[in-house]
Structure 1
Amino acid sequence: MDSTTISLVRTTFKAVAAVDDGPEKLTRSFYGILFAQNPEAREFFPAAMDVQRDRLVQAIAYVIDKLENPESILPFLAQLGRDHRKYGVEDAHYVAVGNALITALKNFAGSEIWTEEVDFAWREAIALIASTMMDAANSETGPRAWIGTVVEHKQVLRDVAVVRLQLDKPMQYGAGQYVSVSVPGRPRMWRYLSPAIPANDQGQIEFHVRRVSGGWVSPAMVGQTNLGDTWAIGSPLGALGVDRTTERDMLMIGSGTGIAPLRAQVMEMAMRGNNPRVHLFVAGTYPCDLYDIETLWQLSQTNPWLTVIPVSAEDTNPWWHFDPIPTPPPGMYQRITGKVGQVVAEFGSWADRDIQIVGSASMIQTTKFRLQAKGTPVESIRHDPLF
């Protein structure tokens, strides 16, 4: 796609998004058109569409923002195409989705904005997106989805659970990637989780799940999961991982259950003989939110390339948590009290590091801004899409 086409697509979408309730109206119109013209497509989506509508706008915005960077967006779209196989999506559905989106945008934008040039630009963009996803899906030979049986469910905090599953077939994923997950009782409500252990030939997988207040799915995962339950798991997504093509040392920053993909990476690194130096900041609101710190300390004790720095915004635990605060082994960093972004930035710019940040969207953005203010090049910072 040339720069003029990308500019027309981006400008049109920004104009729609800038209108009061524009994104919500656009997605309602899109799904209304899609389901009216293709009633069979409704079965791919959950009964409650609120989260799905938000994700559509966020996903479109993310793709549009990356259109001039094909080396990053095309692999992402290919992964998304492979993941969409879990729905039973066929080529005709991509065509239907593209036509419905163009119709919704055209109706919403009006004739003054929606010119022939804009129409052509959007059709070219959607053709690129759809063809990339279709080609990846059609070339995939693995299962549409994996079925995992819950073999252990451990509630490590009142709002956090560690869930271990046995997959029906081993899944090959890169440590640091994430997958979509659907659980019993919440049909077609897929949520993204990162495996907390590396891929293995035994088909074992582990997730760390935090209950989101008011959420549809995470409360069921944390509080209503039973041994023997079966979860459906989609194809791996994401690009976090150790870049073995460079010799750069690494800075990893994980907050709450965001530690899971970083944990998987350092566990995988521990199986190798040669690794870059890694500083891993483990953060939470309270000391108890560092629920897996002792595992990471053990890894650090046997792997001198790994340095673990615990950080909590509060110095003491909340009233409802009675377990004692773990004491670091000799030679380990004592826990630092403060906001993780500020704490990391106080160590310096980390300009020579390959940096990964995992956590909530606000934590990621705040930490990025803190590092950039210290002189960290933005191209050195990686995180998954914020949707």
Structure 2
Amino acid sequence: MRLRRRLFSPSGAGRQAAEGAGAEGATEAAPQQPYDGAADQRVITDHLELVTPFEDLIGHLYDAMFAHWPFLRRLFPESMEFQRKHLEAAFRYLIENLHDPDAVAATFTRLGRDHRKLGVRPAHYRAFEASLCEALRRTAGPRWNEGMERAWVRMLRFAVAAMVEGAEAALGEPAAWHATVTGHDLRRADLAVLRVRPHEPYPYRAGQYASVASPHLSQAWRQYSIGCAPRPDGELEFHVKLTGRGGVSEALVARTRVGDVLRLGPPGGTMTLDDDPAHDLLLVAGDTGWAAVKALLQELAAHRVAQRDVHLFLGVRHPSALYDTESPAELRRRYPWLRVTQVVGEGPGPGEFGALADVVAGHGDWSRRLAFVSGPPAMAGPLVARLTADGVPAGRIRHDPLPDRA
């Protein structure tokens, strides 16, 4: 707590940070009033056109940071493209949600726990703050003023305080886990199912995801759903689809072999089952989103409550894309309490044809169910919007991160 008060004292925000990444305030700050995020949100959004689109701002930010503190470059992957997109998403999330400080704090507390795997330390945030201030001035030009900058700095410091708190709370767990690849099954030319065994216990729940890093790419991490419920032998399963050349997905699909050692970040995500079986379930999986739903089905089978009804919609673009699961008929035989509807997006095939969101909506009223949506953003986004519009409360829809979320 004392560290956070020193880091985030209100005086001289940009100036103190610019004096050095490791500098600390001379005195402790007085107790802070609750953060008025809505006021800063108004200031930032009223002048957002000065610093958007964010590409130039983020470019200037990293240019300044690496020029003043070149040693920080090692914390980032060789290609900065994904990092820039991630930071832009974080900025947008902050600005759009600043009126709800509790939600922002919860999100960035989790992010701080996760960032321990990168070797981020509190002093690095000071360098980031100074670089952001320099980038804001350079991007906005002469119309920029101290009031606008103070609003941005307060927003950043509020988020960073939550990240530091998350990192401190996680000191009792590893910053990252090492895991040996025990199986690499190439199901399609562009898709592999990996089995890995962590060297230390890896506590997680069915439906969660993990950040994964390959030894072939320094400091490059991508999130993948864990494709199994917790097992006695501790093994994990990841379903990885090739999404581009030169990235983590290519390293895992095309270059990884049994015996390689991957790194895993702490588990994340809220797409987990409630202990209270009050609601029947709607499960929707598309493409590699099947991994998370597969884990949920395994957990349901292990802790089955007879009166809980479960309906699974299994969406594929083409029948040949069904890469891991049994046929719907086999799934129904394995889980008698499960109803399965296969949905094919393109071309003739078994099951129903059409857009997944339309088919799901056409099967009835889901407003009393707990819904789980897992799959690529192009599928999950429209489906989450459709379920919400059809009366399913947002608090009862659990889904993978979408592009507009940090």
TM-score band (shorter)?
0.7 to 0.9
- Output the TM-score relative to the length of structure 1: 0.86
Secondary structure at 2:285 match in 1: strand
Change (3 A) 1:49 1:352: same
Change (3 A) 1:273 1:384: closer
- CA distance, structure 1, for counterparts of residue 256 and residue 155 of structure 2: 42
Secondary structure at 1:130 match in 2: helix
Q: Which amino acid aligns with 2:354?
A: G
Contact 1:76 1:237 survives alignment (8 Å) = no
Structure 2: runs of 5+ lacking an equivalent = 1-34
The percentage of aligned residue pairs carrying the same residue is: 35
Equivalences, count: 366
- CA distance, structure 1, for counterparts of residue 202 and residue 218 of structure 2: 22
**Residue correspondence of structure 1 range 141-180 to structure 2 within 5 A:** 141-180=172-211
- Output the TM-score relative to the length of structure 2: 0.83
How far did 1:165 drift? Answer: 0.6
Q: Which amino acid aligns with 1:5?
A: D
**Residue correspondence of structure 1 range 47-126 to structure 2 within 5 A:** 47-112=78-143, 114-126=144-156
Q: Which amino acid aligns with 2:41?
A: I
Q: Deviations over 1:324-374 (max 9, x none)?
A: xxxxxxxxxx62222211111111342222222222222222223433454
- CA distance, structure 2, for counterparts of residue 269 and residue 94 of structure 1: 42
- CA distance, structure 2, for counterparts of residue 61 and residue 247 of structure 1: 36
- CA distance, structure 2, for counterparts of residue 138 and residue 151 of structure 1: 33
Deviates more, 1:232-241 or 1:114-123: 114-123
- CA distance, structure 1, for counterparts of residue 49 and residue 380 of structure 2: 23
| 2:352 pairs with 1:336 | yes
Q: Which residue of 2 aligns with 1:289?
A: 321
Q: Which amino acid aligns with 1:29?
A: H
Secondary structure at 1:36 match in 2: helix
Change (3 A) 1:172 1:274: same
Which structure has the larger Rg over C-alpha atoms? 2
Contact 1:263 1:296 survives alignment (8 Å) = no
Change (3 A) 1:299 1:82: farther
Contact 2:328 2:342 survives alignment (8 Å) = no
- CA distance, structure 2, for counterparts of residue 83 and residue 257 of structure 1: 23
Change (3 A) 1:264 1:295: farther
Quote the RMSD (CA, aligned, Å).
Answer: 2.4
| 2:164 pairs with 1:137 | no
How far did 1:62 drift? Answer: 2.1
Q: Which amino acid aligns with 1:314?
A: E
Contact 2:284 2:374 survives alignment (8 Å) = yes
Q: Which amino acid aligns with 1:354?
A: L
Contact 2:312 2:340 survives alignment (8 Å) = yes
Contact 1:282 1:309 survives alignment (8 Å) = yes
How far did 1:233 drift? Answer: 0.9
Q: Which amino acid aligns with 1:136?
A: G
How far did 1:34 drift? Answer: 1.3
Return the match for 2:56 from 15, 25, 39: 25
Contact 2:192 2:240 survives alignment (8 Å) = yes
